[in-house]
Amino acid sequence: MPPKTPRVRNKKARRNYHVLETVEAGLVLEGSEVKALREGKGNIDEAFARLRGGEVYLFNMHIGPYAQAHQFGHDTRRTRKLLLKRRQISRFLGRAVEKGYTLVPLTVYFKRGWAKVELAVVRGKREFDKREDLKKRDHQRDIARELARRSRGR
């Protein structure tokens, strides 16, 4: 199985949200969108997913224009359908419709030639949660630094 190489990553998601559960979904794209994504011209920082009519759609994902598409290009911010099985939708999205939870894409990548989205059910972090995460990260960095210093000193 080839490695999943992220083409587009939502760097703010793990900082601003508690990730509770993730699922991999297929992404319905036009030809010029696939070419543009392969060039890395995507942005999912402000993207989110919603359930509409029993299907899941991705909103606010930006895919830049593909230069060779000319007039046959795509709309850069159109709503894109996500491919999930009904069982996944009912199990996964049952939690997402609760108050305070939302669906956020974490990464967009290609797997065996198909565009995939790693979608997560998340709950927003409060300011003190973010500060606590920063403290933990700084503490872990200090520990790693001290261990490295001690191992060099032998």
Ordered by start, the domain boundaries in the chain are 5-125
Residues 6+ apart with CB under 8 A from 47: 10, 58, 59, 60, 61, 62, 104, 105
Length of the chain: 154
Choosing among 2.40.280.10, 3.40.50.970, 3.40.50.2300, 2.70.70.10, the CATH entry for 5-125 is 2.40.280.10
Residues 94-134 have pLDDT tens digits of 777 777 788 899 999 998 889 899 999 888 877 777 788 78
Residue 1 — pLDDT band, cuts 50, 70, 90?
Answer: very low
